Structure formats: C-alpha cells, structure tokens
Amino acid sequence: MITSIVKRDGREVPFSVEKIAKAIYQAAQAMGGKDYDEAYAIAQEVGKYIESNGNTKPTVEQIQDAVEKVLIETGHARTAKVYILYRAERSRVREMNTRLMQTYEDLTFKDAKENDVKRENANIDGDTAMGTMLKYGSEGAKQFNELFILDPKHAEAHRNGDIHIHDMDFLTLTTTCCQIDLLKLFKGGFSTGHGFLREPNDIASYSALACIAIQSNQNDQHGGQSIPNFDYGMAPGVKKTYRKLYVRNMSKALELICDIKDSNEFAKEIYNKIKEENGVYPTISNDNNYEELEKAAMLKKGIKEKDYDRCRAFALERGLEETERATYQAMEALVHNLNTMHSRAGAQIPFSSINYGTDTSPEGRMVIKNVLLATDAGLGNGETPIFPIHIFKVKEGVNYNKEDPNYDLFKLSMKVSAKRLFPNYSFLDAPYNKEYYVEGDPNTEIAYMGCRTRVMANNYDKTKQVVGGRGNLSFTSVNLPRLAIKSHGNLDIFFEQLDSKIDLVISQLLERFEIQCKRKVRNYPFLMGQGIWLDSDKLGIDDEVREVLKHGTLTLGFIGLAETLKCLLGVHHGESQEAQNLGIEIVAHMRNRMDEESKKTGLNFSLIATPAEGLSGRFVRMDRERYGVLEGVTDRPYYTNSFHIPVYFPISAYDKIKLEAPYHELTNGGHISYVEMDGDPSQNLDAFESVIRCMKENGIGYGSVNHPVDRDPVCGYTGIIGDTCPRCGRHDGEGISVEKLKQLKGFNDLRGYDENPLEDGDKVTHI
Amino acid sequence: MSNKVVEVNGVVGEGVTFERIRRITGYLVGTLDRFNDAKFAEVNDRVKHSISTGAGLMEQI
Ligand SMILES: [Zn+2]
C-alpha cells in the first residue's frame, strides 16, 4: 500500500490517485482527449505498478517514470509524448528557479571583486544597495523573459550563444536610446513628471535643465542619452545671460558716470522699450541696431553723448567678461552634475553624450570653449570626468582648416582630449554622413550616442532624416566566429549559416518591436509625454506609440570579425589583403540584408559594430567549451570588438585607420575606431592632430585616441604613472609623510597643488 | 583599498591606489577593478599603434 510520496525537497505528502489522474488528463486534453475516467483508470494502474515493485514511498520522479511507462504500454503513445514534454518543461522551470536563486545568492553574498555579473557593466556599482537591487531585478527579468516572453527558438539561440539579445531584462519595457533636441525641448518649458519647468532664462538654468532632461529621459529608456546639438542648444542661454549682464553693467555705469539714481530702473526701462518697440536686444556680435536705438533713447533722457559712449564701452566689456565667466560656471556645473547625479534608483550615473563643434556664433563658440575648459580642469579634486562623453564634430569650412572660424576650438579640443580622453571625434565630411548634411540645419549634422550608436537615415519617413528625437529601439548581435568554426573553412556554408542567423535576428527584432509598439505614451512620461521623441507630441497620453517608434532603428550587431577571418582563412584583416576583402564582403552582406529588410517593411533596419562590453567574454567562453581552444580564435578570454583589428596585433595607427575605415561606411547603425597612442599625447599634440586628420581623410565616421590617464589621489598628479608617482615618488598604496608632501613644488596646504592652473590638486583631509 | 586620503600620524596615502582611467567600449571607467574579466584581459593585451610623424606614413595624407 502506497502511504505517501516524497517530493523533490524531501517533504512527504499523502499519496493521491486524483492528482496523478489530473496530470494525465491535462496531457490527454492537449491531444483532444476528454475522458477523465480513462485518465483515472490509468492513474490507478500507475499505483498498482508501483506497489508491485514493493515501493511504498515513491518519489515524484518514480511516479512520473511509471506514468510514462503505463501510458505507452496501454497504447496512449501520443498522450505520453505530451506528458514527457510537459515534464521536461516543468523541470526546466525548476532548474531556472534554482539558477535564479543561485544568481541571487551570488549577488547577495559575493562582492563585485569576486562576481563577474556585478561587473558586467563597469559603470554600475554592483556593491551598493541600489546597484544590487538593480541586479536582482535585471537578472530576474532576463530569466522571466527568456522563459515566458521570447519565442522559444529565439530564447534557445540566445541561451546557446548563437545570438545575443541585448538588454533582455528590458525586453517588455522600453527602447534603447534617444537624441534629445534641446532647442525644441526648451521652447516654452517642459514638465519632468514631478513639476513644470519654465523656459530657462540664463545659461545656468540651460545647463541645469539639460542635465535634468538627460536624467529624466534615462529613466524612460535602458540605454544612453545624447544631445546632438549641445552648442546650438546652449547658445540661446548665453544670449539671455549676456542681455541681463549687459543691462546690469549699463546700470552700474549710468550710476557712476551720469549720477543717475535708480539707474537699475532707468536702464531696464530703456531695454524693455527697445525690446517691445523694435524687437532687438543687445548681442555679443552687435549685429543689430540696438546701439543706435539705445543711444537715441538715452540722449532723449538727457544723457550726454560722451557719457553714453563711456557707459556703452563699460557695459560691452564687463557684460562680455561676466557672460564668459557665467558660461564657464554653467559648463563646470554640467560636468559635475553629469558625474554625480543618479538615475535608475541611484545605482547608475546617466550615460550621457554631448555633440558640438560646429556652431560658429559667438555664443555657441563660448559654450564650446568653456565646456572644453571645464573638462580640462576636471572635477573637484582634479579627477578626469567620466561623463559626459564629448563628441567634437569635425567639418571642413567650419573647424578643420586653419582659416575656418572654429579652428581654434578644434585645436583646443585636441589639447583637452590629449589630457582627458574626451572629446572623441565625429566626421561630418565622411561621404555617408555628408549625404544628409544641409547647410544651416544642425539637425542634419551627424551625431553619435555614447559608445557608437548612429541614427540618421529614415526609411519610414524620408522627409525626416534628422538626428533629433530619434534613437535605437533594440539590437541583437550574432556570434560570427561560431559560424566560421562550424563551416570548417567552407565559405558557402558560412554565408548560408549567416543568412539563417540574420533571418532569426530579424524575426526576433520584429517580435520585440511588436511588444514595444503596444506600449502607450503614459509608459514613457518624459520621452513621449514631453514630446522628446520625434512626432510623439502628436499623440495623446493613452495612445499606442507604434507609429512614432518607426522613426527608430532595429539593429543587427556582430562581434569578432577578426576571429572569424582567422578561422576561415588562418589570418585576420590586419595580416592579409585577402582577409580584408573577405571581411568587407561579410559585413557588406549583413548591411545589404538590413537594407533589403528596410525596403520590405518600411522600417529602419541597420547594422551596428557591437560595443561588446558584456558580450566579449560570453561568446568566446561558450565556444571554447564547445569547440576547444582554437589558435587565434578561442584562445583569448575575449572576442575582438566588432570589426576592429585585434588589440594585441602590432600595427601602425595609419594602417589601422585605413583598414577599419571601410567598415564605418557599412555599419550605418554605429561604429568607432580607436588608436592607442604611446606616451603622454599632451607632450605631442602634433602627433595627436595627425591621427585625427588621418581619420578624417580616410573616411572614418567616429574615432578617438586612447592613452593612459593615471592620477595619484594623494598629491593630485595627473598623467602617466608607472610604478611610482613622478611628482611625489610614492608607490601604489604606499604612505607618504605630510612633511615631504609639503616640500613638493607648488604645494598649498589648503588647496593642494596649484602649479598648473588647469589642474587643481587634491585636498588632504586631516583627522 | 580605499581612495579616501586621510592623515594618520603625519602620513597620508597608506592603502590609496593610483587611479587608472581607461576607455572601455567608448566610455571611460575610473578604475580597472570595475572591468569585467574579459574586458580586463582585453585592456591588458592592448598594444600601442606607432605614429610616425615627420616624413613618416601619416604625411601621406
Ligand atoms: Zn604623487
């Protein structure tokens, strides 16, 4: 007699024939069966069978084995099949629960140093309370989506490492990123969801609101936020500040020179009168008839001409000076804010990018100059700012050549980049970028987001091929090296497999798009609610975002082109022209497939050179387990970033740029190339400039120069530090006496080191 | 290790490591210990790219 059954966790519960009958009945129902009595009879058979083996306390597994056996023996093979599948599914769920709990256990009890998951993204601090909470949510969502949302064939391809669905934790929630058009946003003010903000009135509030916009948008999306027109967007703030400061200084001069009481009222009255009657303001460039009008008004009020001229000169000089200072402070605040303000429950600093360099107005130039100087100065203790990512737009006729109006700012940008690693450089004259450029319309100047994302062409609405209000919706990367391994050097097989993976990715992107489309404006209170996203201002709060999302991109990515070529040909594209040709053929093929899909669907499919932070280790780890260590393919802990020449391969900067440039043209969803420069480029700005010019001349779209930036927090030295600090001589982690520190040149007890005005030293806390 | 600079018995900097800022996949990271294992290996493998100025290759442009 069976008394009880033993569950998986060891607990004993009473044996019940009904429960077994119900499970069998469910399986039978799936095959169209309707006979519960028969199911009950089979369940009784199962009981008898177990008893006949002398087992009085069977385990769940033993009962399930018996059910399968009896089903098959009594001629219910199809029901047995369903039952077996159901059982396998249940055990996968169970295994998943265990896996999730294991992940949670690691997140809870291991710190980031021991736990790679916590370091998956280097800018989330996995050791903080909110960072860990974010990870619980993210890991749980990933596994839920894999199990219950994704089409099983997409889930399987992701699980086994054929493809990688990026940001799978956000699968059902939102889209990747957006380029925020500041000019449009600030017009008339906006609401953050926690209160309405008026149209800003000076450069300080422009800068503060830009930060708030980035932060608010970041909470509505899972990727980064970019401002494509930072200089153009901030310039009106400088204009407004200048007006105020001009009038303030005019009033001071009037009081002092002309003995006017209530000079403040006096000056404002004239300013307001001219504003209302003539619609003109004082401007830095003095490009209107404000002076004439002001002079006439003042003379009419009895001010002597000679005195007016003196007041005017004073107001011009001081107004400009103070505007410059206010702009610097606003830019300094922006850099500080973007490095300290938190989003996403406090665990992550917003991933912010700002693009600038082409505004040639005096106000725009002031913004560019001061945001560069603030970055050069660094944070409170002279630390290199991590955010925002600066992207300097290089354009012939604007800033590229000596005679160009912003050439001085291009020069300054390189000086700053040589010290602080930013700006990166985007090239508006690369043919595939230039084709969208319309002179006088900043919205047609190419911009990049964060790591590399690029959104420009608009197949959905060809009248809106602009950067503002658009971004990537989602992207999925294909494991190229695995396809190469599996095709054993046969290119036909390789391309055949590649096509089938591309088909899979397209269907997955479309399925995810369908989920994203069903979201409503209210799900994105800032992004859609405030009209940041293109055309979202035409939607009501309960409308689906389907139509406007079509302005965004659905993107295929890839990593490990170098390992792929190595596997197919024995050499990578840095080593042979044949490999380079094949590399271009492979990437061009992927691009063509995306173009075809765009044509077919009316959507924007694009190809991105995947920024492989979390992925670079995942694919190769799985491939090494499957196929063993293959030289040049799986023998390192990472697959090479997208189309890059491998980082370990010795090559000149010039050759690297030349070889990588053709891939920029093909990867319309985003790309970047790096050059690793030896030594301290601050000491060799000519070499730095020659690299940037080389990128431009060879058709690179987006590039930057890497070099070591080290800092000693004790003495504040920033530069290259080997084993010992060149300034104070201490080793890593070694103490140094305060006495010795004080003897160092430039030491100031209160402010630390100040020998270099662009590099504030560190403060020493005394306890 | 902590990067908070405090003075103890006339000595500062005990246990304070140098910061080494590197570009990871386009954005910067303040210290190498925030890199995941694969990226850490990749950063360590990076070699410099020679830039010949003067009569060198870069002058071909
Ligand atoms: Zn030092």
For the stretch A725-738, pLDDT in tens is 988 899 998 999 88
Hey, which residues does A226 pair with through a beta bridge? A179, A353
DSSP characters over A531-588:
T-STTGGGS-TTSB-HHHHTTSEEEEEEE-HHHHHHHHHSS-TTT-HHHHHHHHHHHH
User: Same domain, yes or no, for A627 and A510?
Assistant: yes
Nearest CA in chain B to A673: B26
Q: Is A479 an interface residue toward B (CB < 8 Å)?
A: no
Nearest to B35 among A119, A693, A713 (CB): A119
B58 → chain A, closest CA residue: A654
pLDDT for the residue numbered A497: 97
**pLDDT of A597-610, one tens digit each?**
999 999 999 999 99
What DSSP string runs through chain B?
-----BEETTEE-TTPPPEEEEESSSSEES-GGGS-HHHHHHHHH----B---TTSGGGG-
CB contact under 8 A, A637 and B41: yes
Same domain, A542 and A594: yes
Mean pLDDT score, A638-661: 96
Mutate to test the interface with B, among A706, A723, A728, A742 (most CBs of B within 10 A): A706
The answer to whether residues A544 and A578 belong to one domain is: yes
**Among the partner residues A386, A649, A765, nearest to B28 by beta-carbon distance:** A386
A514 assigned to some structural domain? yes
Do residues A35 and A54 make contact, with C-beta atoms less than 8 angstroms apart?
Answer: no
Give the C-alpha separation, A108 to A321, whole Å.
54
Domain span holding position A145: 96-153
Burial class, A723, CB count within 10 angstroms (exposed 0-12 / middle 13-18 / buried 19+): exposed
Contacts of A384 in chain B (CB under 8 A): 21, 28, 30
CB A301 within 8 A of CB A344: no
Helix, strand, coil percentages for chain A (3-state, nearest 5): 50, 10, 35
User: Which value, in Å, is the radius of gyration of the alpha carbons in chain A?
Assistant: 32
Q: What is the mean pLDDT of residues A372-376?
A: 97
- Per-residue pLDDT averaged across A465-485, rounded? 97
Q: Say whether pLDDT at B6 is over 60.
A: yes
Q: Which of A453, A621, A652 to mutate to test the interface with B (most CBs of B within 10 A)?
A: A652
User: Of A282, A298, A330, which residue constitutes the final position of a domain?
Assistant: A330
- From the CA of B60, how many Å to the nearest CA of chain A? 9
Residue B34 CA to ligand 1 centre (angstroms): 23
DSSP character string of A258-306: H--TTHHHHHHHHHHHHHHHH-----TT--SSHHHHHHHHHHHTT--HH
Shared domain for A239 and A325, answered yes or no, is yes
A635 is a domain residue: yes
Summarised one tens digit per residue, pLDDT across range A251-261 is 999 999 999 99
pLDDT in tens, A343-355: 554 456 678 999 9
Phi, psi of A283 (to 5 degrees): -130, 155
> Shortest CB distance from B20 goes to which of A613, A708, A733?
A708
Rounded to whole angstroms, the Cα distance separating B37 from B43 reads 10
Residues of chain A in contact with residue B4, where contact means CB-CB under 8 angstroms, are 765
Residue A697 lies in a domain: no
Angle at A284 between CA A359 and CA A250, to 5 degrees: 155
* CB B47 within 8 Å of CB A647: yes
Beta bridge partner(s), residue A706: A676
Bridge partners of A476, per DSSP, are A165, A556
The answer to the question of residue A28 being in a domain is yes
Best CA proximity match to A175, nearest among A430, A551, A461, A464 = A551
Residues of chain B neighbouring A614 (CB-CB closer than 8 A): 36
Given a cut of 60, whether residue A754 has pLDDT beyond it is: no
The separation between CA A272 and the C-alpha centre of its own chain, rounded to angstroms, equals 44
Q: What are the residues whose beta carbons fall under 8 Å from the beta carbon of A296, sequence distance 6 or more?
A: none
What is the DSSP code string of A170-230? GTTT--S-EE--HHHHHTT-EE-SS-EEPPP-SHHHHHHHHHHHHHHHHTT-SS-EEETTH
The candidate with the shortest Cα–Cα distance to A337, out of A321, A324, A354, is A354
Confidence of residue A125 (pLDDT cuts 50, 70, 90): low
Q: How many CB atoms lie within 10 A of CB A475?
A: 27
- Angle (CA) A150 A151 A153, round 5°: 120
Q: Furthest-apart CA pair in chain A: how many Å?
A: 121
Regarding whether A114 and A17 lie in a shared domain, the answer is no
Rounded average pLDDT over A171-194:
85
Q: For A664-672, what is the mean pLDDT?
A: 97
Side-chain-side CA neighbours of A346 within 13 Å: the count stands at 6
C-alpha span between A240 and A25 (Å, rounded): 76
> Same domain, yes or no, for A540 and A591?
yes
Please compute the mean of the pLDDT values over residues B11-37 and round it to a whole number: 80
Q: Compute the nearest-CA separation of A583 from chain B (Å).
A: 21
What does the pLDDT read at residue A342?
Answer: 64
- How far, CA to CA in Å, does B60 sit from each of A427, A551, A689, A691, A697? 19, 41, 14, 12, 10
In this prediction, residue A84 carries a pLDDT of 82
Write phi, then psi, for A131 (nearest 5 degrees): -65, -40
Confidence at residue A106, expressed as pLDDT on a 0 to 100 scale: 83
Q: Report the chain B residue with the minimal C-alpha distance to residue A615.
A: B38
Cβ distance B61 to A697 less than 8 Å, yes or no, reads: yes
Q: How is the beta sheet containing A709-711 ordered, strand by strand?
A: A718-719, A709-711, B19-23, B28-29
CB-based contact, A739 to chain B, within 8 Å: yes
Is B27 in CB contact (< 8 Å) with chain A? yes
Interface check for B32 against chain A (CB to CB < 8 A): the answer is no
CA distance B19 to chain A (A): 5
> Quick one: pLDDT at residue A137?
87
* Inside any domain, residue A182: no
Distance A741 CA to ligand 1 centre (A): 9
**Rounded Cα–Cα distance for residues A333 and A406 (Å):** 24
CA B30 / ligand 1 centre spacing (Å): 17
Question: Using CB atoms and an 8 Å cut-off, which of residues 112-171 of chain A contact chain B?
Answer: 112-113, 116, 119-120, 122-123, 125
Question: Would you give the distance in Å from CA A697 to the centre of its chain?
Answer: 27
Nearest residue to A231 via CA among A326, A320, A360: A360
Output the pLDDT for position A123: 61
Last-in-domain residue among A89, A113, A144: A89
Secondary structure in 3-state letters for A388-432: CEEEEEECCCCCCCCCCCCHHHHHHHHHHHHHHCCCEEEECCCHH
Whether the ω angle into residue A423 lies within 30 degrees of 0, i.e. cis, is yes
Q: Are residues A623 and A523 in the same domain?
A: yes
Q: Do A146 and A166 belong to one domain?
A: no
> Out of B17, B38, B60, whose CB is closest to A617?
B38
Residue pairs between chains A and B whose CB atoms are closer than 8 Å: 205
pLDDT at residue A120, as a whole number: 66
- A372 falls within a domain: no
Whole-angstrom distance, CA of residue A762 vs CA of residue B59: 41
Estimate to the nearest angstrom the gap between the alpha carbon of A318 and the chain centroid: 41
Is the same domain home to A53 and A123? no
Alpha helices in A33-125 (DSSP H): 36-52, 60-73, 77-109
Higher model confidence: residue A581 or residue A122? A581
Alpha carbons within 13 A on the beta-carbon side of A487: 22
pLDDT at B55 over 50: no
**pLDDT band at residue A55, thresholds of 50, 70 and 90?**
confident
**Closest chain A C-alpha to B55 CA, distance in angstroms:** 12
Residue of B nearest to A676 (CA): B48
pLDDT for the residue numbered A104:
84
User: In whole angstroms, what is the distance from residue A491 CA to residue A687 CA?
Assistant: 41
**How does DSSP classify residue A169?**
G
Highest-pLDDT range among A82-96, A375-389, A635-649: A635-649
Decide if pLDDT at A740 tops 90.
no
- Per residue in A217-244, pLDDT (tens digit) is 888 888 889 999 999 999 999 999 999 9
By the 8 A CB rule, do A108 and A101 touch? Answer: no
- B18 to chain A: closest CA residue: A712
Rounded to an integer, what distance in angstroms lies between the CA atom of residue A637 and that of residue A618? 9
In a domain, A575, yes or no: yes
- The tokens for A733 are 């982690």
Question: Edge to edge, what strands does the sheet with A424-427 contain?
Answer: A178-179, A225-227, A352-356, A389-394, A424-427, A702-706, A673-676
Residues in chain A: 767
Residues of A in contact with B6 (CB under 8 A): 765-767
Write A91-98 long-range contacts (CB < 8 A, 24+).
Answer: A92/A147, A93/A147, A94/A8, A96/A143, A96/A147
Cα A736 to ligand 1 centre (Å): 9
Tell whether A492 and A617 lie within a shared domain: yes
Of A387, A614, A762, the CB nearest to B5: A762
- Interfacial A residues in 668-697 facing B (CB < 8 Å): 672, 674-678, 684, 686-687, 690-691, 693-694, 697
Quick one: average pLDDT of A621-637? 96
Mean pLDDT of A68-86: 86
Q: What is the mean pLDDT of residues A439-466?
A: 94
A514 and A648 fall within a common domain: yes
- Is A122–B39 a contact, with Cβ atoms under 8 angstroms apart? yes
Residue A109: is its pLDDT beyond 50?
yes
Q: List the single residue in A613, A636, A684 with the smallest CB-CB distance to B24.
A: A613
Give the pLDDT confidence score for residue A745 in this predicted structure: 63
Contacts of A375 (CB under 8 A, 6+ apart): A335, A385, A390, A416, A420, A422
Per-residue pLDDT, B33: 67
What is the torsional sign of CA A685, A688, A694, A699? negative
Q: Is residue A339 part of a domain?
A: no
Taking the C-alpha atoms of residue A291 and residue A282, their distance in angstroms, rounded to an integer, is 8
**What is the number of domains present in chain A?**
4
Q: How high is the mean pLDDT of chain A?
A: 90
Task: Find out whether the peptide bond into A388 is cis, omega within 30 degrees of 0.
Answer: yes
Whether A326 has a pLDDT exceeding 90, the answer reads: yes
A762 CA from centroid of ligand 1 (Å)? 10
Question: Is A363 in contact with A674 (CB distance < 8 Å)?
Answer: no
- Closest CA–CA distance from residue B33 to any residue of chain A (Å): 7
Give the end of a domain, one of A308, A330, A352.
A330
Q: What is the pLDDT of residue A246?
A: 98
Sequence letter at residue A579: A
User: A645 in contact with B at a CB cutoff of 8 Å?
Assistant: no
**How close does chain B come to A117, measured CA to CA in Å?**
8
Distances (CA, A) of A271 to A246, A320, A487, A607: 10, 17, 76, 54
Can you tell me the distance from the alpha carbon of A311 to that of A480, in angstroms, rounded to the nearest whole number? 70
% of chain B with per-residue pLDDT over 70: 70
Q: What's the gap in Å between A744 CA and the centre of ligand 1?
A: 10
Span A10-47, pLDDT tens digits: 888 888 889 889 988 888 887 788 889 989 999 999 99
Checking if the pLDDT of B53 tops 80, the result is no
Q: What is the DSSP letter of A145?
A: I
Q: Mark whether A72 and A125 lie in a shared domain.
A: no
